[in-house]
Chain A
Amino acid sequence: MPKKKSPPITEAWRGITFTRRALVVGGAQAAVGVALAARMAYISVVDNDRYVLESESNRVNLTLVPPRRGWIVDRHGKALANNRVSLRIDLIPDRLHNKEMILGQLQTLLRLDGDAMERINRDLKAASGFQPVAVKEDMTEAEYSSILVRLPELPGIAPQRGFARNYPTGAAVGHLIGYVGAPNAEEYQKVKDPLYITPGYKIGKDGLEKYFQEMLKGEPGARRVEVTARGKVVRDLSTQPDMQGKTVHLTIDAGLQEYVARRMGRESGAAVVIDCHNGDILAFVSMPSFDPNSFSDGISTSEYAWLRADDHQPLINKATRGLYPPGSTLKPMAAIAAIEHGVDPSERHTCIGGYRLGNRFFRCLGTHGSLDMPSAIMKSCNSYFYWLAHRLGYDAMAPTARLLGLGEEFRLAGSNQRYGTIPDSAWKMRKYDQRWTASDSLNAVIGQGYVSVNPLQLAVMAARIASGRSLYPRLVNRQFRNEPLPFSPEALAVARQGMDLVVNGAGTAVRSRLPLDGITMAGKTGTAQVRGLRTGNGQSGTWKFRDHGLFVGFAPVVNPRYATGIVIEHGMGGSRAAAPVARDFMTYLFDREKGMEALETLEAGWGGSIKERMDRDYAAWKSGASSDPDPGVPQ
Chain B
Amino acid sequence: MIPVPPAIQRIPWKLIAILAGITGFGLLVLYSAAGGSWSPWAWQQGVRFLVFLGVALVIGRFPIRIFEDFAYIAYIGVLVLLLAVELLGFVGGGSQRWLNLGIINLQPSELMKVTIVIALARFYAQLPPGNTRTFTALWPALVMIGLPAGLVMLQPDLGTALAISIGGVVVMFVAGLPFWWFGSTAAAGIAALPIFFSFLHDYQQKRVLIFLDPESDPLGAGYHISQSKIAIGSGGIGGKGFLNGSQSHLDYLPEGHTDFIFATMAEEWGLIGGLALLFGFFLLLRWSTRVALKARTRFGQLTAAGLTMTIFFYIAINLMMVMGLAPVVGIPLPLFSYGGSSMLTIMTCVGIILAIENDSKTGSRRFH
Contact = CB atoms under 8 A, between A and B. Distances in A.
Interface in A205-263: 226-230, 234
B251 A230 contact: yes
Interface residues of A, number: 46
Interface string B245-284: 0110011100000000000001100110011001001100
A59 B250 contact: yes
Interface string A448-480: 000000000000000000000000000000000
Given A26-B289, A36-B316, A229 B251 contact: yes
B312 interface: yes
Contacts of A227: 250
B246 A59 contact: yes
B176 A43 contact: no
A58 B173 contact: no
Contact of B235 (A19, A36, A44, A54): A44
Given A48-B233, A51-B233, A9 B130 contact: yes
Interface in A29-53: 29-30, 32-33, 36-37, 39-41, 43-45, 47-48, 50-52
A22 B292 contact: yes
10 contacts: A13-B129, A21-B176, A33-B316, A40-B319, A51-B234, A55-B230, A55-B231, A58-B227, A58-B230, A229-B251
Given A40-B323, A45-B237, A45-B271, A32 B316 contact: yes
A29 B314 CA distance: 12
Nearest to B275: A37
A340 interface: no
A58 B250 contact: yes
Contacts of B232: 40, 43-44, 51
A94 interface: yes
Interface in A56-78: 56, 58-59
Contacts of A17: 176
Interface of B: 129-130, 132-133, 170, 173-176, 219, 227, 229-237, 246-247, 250-252, 266-267, 270-271, 274-275, 278, 281-282, 285, 289, 292-293, 298, 301-302, 305, 308-309, 312, 316, 319-320, 323, 325, 367-368
Given A25-B309, A48-B234, A36 B320 contact: yes
B286 to A, nearest CB: 8
A230 B130 CA distance: 64
Interface in A1-38: 6, 8-11, 13-15, 17-19, 21-23, 25-26, 29-30, 32-33, 36-37
Contacts of A39: 323, 325
A497 B309 CA distance: 114
Contacts of A56: 234
A14 B124 CA distance: 11
A14 B271 contact: no
B132 A52 contact: no
Contact of B278 (A26, A37, A129): A37
Contacts, number: 147
Nearest to A229: B251
Contacts of B231: 55
Contacts of A37: 274-275, 278
A630 B326 CA distance: 66
B278 A94 contact: no
A44 B274 contact: yes
A216 to B, nearest CB: 37
Contacts of A51: 229-230, 232-234
A189 to B, nearest CB: 23
Contacts of B312: 29, 32
Given A25-B174, A36-B319, A15 B367 contact: yes
Contacts of A234: 250
Nearest to A94: B219
Nearest to B234: A55
A125 B219 CA distance: 15
A13 B175 CA distance: 11
Interface of A: 6, 8-11, 13-15, 17-19, 21-23, 25-26, 29-30, 32-33, 36-37, 39-41, 43-45, 47-48, 50-52, 54-56, 58-59, 94, 129, 226-230, 234
Contacts of B316: 29, 32-33, 36
A18 B323 CA distance: 33
B240 to A, nearest CB: 9
A525 B353 CA distance: 114
Contact of B266 (A26, A44, A59): A44
Given A9-B130, A14-B298, A19 B234 contact: no
A486 B123 CA distance: 121
Contacts of B251: 228-230
Nearest to A228: B250
Contact of B282 (A11, A15, A33): A33
A46 to B, nearest CB: 9
Q: Count chain A CB atoms within 10 A of each CB in B174, B266, B325 and give the residue with the most.
A: B174
A55 B129 contact: no
Given A37-B274, A55-B247, A43 B233 contact: yes
Contact of A44 (B237, B298, B305): B237
A18 B250 contact: no
Contacts of A59: 246-247, 250, 252
Contacts of B237: 44-45, 48
A37 B280 CA distance: 13
B66 to A, nearest CB: 22
Given A19-B293, A25-B173, A41-B271, A47 B368 contact: no
Nearest to B313: A29
Contacts of B227: 58
A19 B289 CA distance: 10
A48 B174 CA distance: 41
A58 B323 CA distance: 19
A223 to B, nearest CB: 17
Contact of B368 (A11, A18, A40): A11
B246 A43 contact: no
A9 B132 contact: yes
B191 to A, nearest CB: 20
A155 to B, nearest CB: 11
A8 B305 CA distance: 24
A230 B275 CA distance: 32
A44 B252 contact: no
A14 B132 contact: yes
